[in-house]
Amino acid sequence: MTSIATYGSGLLALVGLLALATLGTFGMIAAVVLAVGLTMLITLGTDRLGTLAMIAAMVFAPMNDVRPSQSVSFVTFSDLFFAAGFALLVPTMLQRKAKVPMGFAVAGSLILVLTVVASLLNEAPLISLNYGFRLVASVVVLPLLFLWWRPSVKLVDGLAWSFVAGTTISLLGGFVTGPQPNGRYLGLTTHTNFFALGALMAFGMLIHLWSRHQNRWMRFLVLSGGGMALASAVLSGSRAALLAMVMLALLYPLVERSVMSAYLVVSTALLGIASLNWLISVAGEGSALARLKGDSTASYSDLAREKAFATGIEEFLAKPLQGNGFDITALDAHNVYLQVAVGIGIFGALAFVMLLWNFIVPLFQPGPLRRLGYVPLSYAAVAVITNSLWDRFVWAGLALAILAAVHTEEPDAPAPAAPSPTERDLAFPVRDPRGHLTTTHNSESM
């Protein structure tokens, strides 16, 4: 009976795919994709296929201009792979008990409630809910799903490498498409600042990967990835991302209490300052280095940000408690904290800060993933001058970082190796001169 049902289901699937293929080019492509997906599902199973989808989602996360359709501008390939991955991982997730930090649960609940309240009080509640739920989906739901899935430490390393690979591909794509008229590169993203933010998230992940790999070849790959991320920030022209990377480099010796790291950071900084003019000539006008030194594009950006901040303050003061809700101007303030305050009020902004703190605090606790805390730390710093509030290339990195909070029970270094069976068999108790029992080994037998 089971075989009949299996063959029947297979036959129905085949008929459906053939019928779909007759609906033109789009239908044919969809039929091929579904056929490949079904084959992989049967071969790999839901858990492995779901994991592969999550890896693909992390690769595409820093490339937010790579979309299935330009007509649906807010849906990226990363979104589709995240949706498919979590859908396939549902059986696995149902077997696990979600570990959610209390602070994250409280802050996330407040953000959800305040978003709904502010939207319902808005003049256009449906529009406000549409934008507001983008905030909830990125800031609360995505990290919560990662906490529920709770992949292994090694798999987290693989996901971090996938994100780094995505930023590298974006950089190479940027070289192919060339710079914008203002000399800034945008990679495979929709904005130069997004290109830089993706690189910043990757830079924080590479600090984690450096600590995870002791092999010199793997560390060479980490350093190469760091160079790619740094080049992306410089070529993007984003001063904020470049300064955030410098901040991480300066903080690392302090947080890790490493004298050697401090020496390397100071040496590199002195070398960079000495060769600054040469670096600017290589990077070109429009680069972050040139804009830090001061040019016309930097002055224009500074002026625009000042006006946006002043407007945001006025909107916040109009409804400081309940917030204004969200609309098409929700990201105009160019300051993430102010944008949240404008949207869901002062209590919503405090909840957002509390939520971010829960991402950062594992950095100062023991655990194999604690250095992923550099990722949200960099975002918390750069958030004062960016409008990237609910973009997945940011929250994919932060969702990965929150896993450090549920892996604190595992030590940083490998545990000492257990004694071999032979050693255990040869051990026997004896009394020391004080009469206390201790254990020794029969050296003659060894």
pLDDT 10s digits, 93-136:
998 887 899 999 999 999 999 999 999 998 888 989 989 999 99
Which of 87, 66, 63, 69 has its CA nearest to residue 30? 69
Q: Are 59 and 162 in contact (CB under 8 A)?
A: yes
What pLDDT was estimated at residue 63? 93
pLDDT at residue 339 above 80? yes
Tokens 């080049």 sit on residue: 231
* Residues 266-313: tens digit of each pLDDT: 666 666 655 556 555 556 677 777 777 766 666 777 788 888 888 889
So where are the chain's domains? Answer: 96-406, 420-446
- H-helix or E-strand spanning residue 438: strand 437-441
Distances, alpha carbon 84 to alpha carbons 36, 52, 56, 265, in Å: 14, 10, 10, 42
| CA 273 – CA 267 distance, rounded (Å) | 10
- Most confident stretch, 48-62, 172-186, 233-247: 48-62
Which of 334, 353, 312 has its CA nearest to residue 240? 334
Name the pTM for this structure. 0.82
What are the residues whose beta carbons fall under 8 Å from the beta carbon of 116, sequence distance 6 or more?
129, 132
Between strands 437-441 and 427-431, the pairing is antiparallel
Which of 245, 226, 232 has its CA nearest to residue 196? 232
What pLDDT was estimated at residue 17? 42
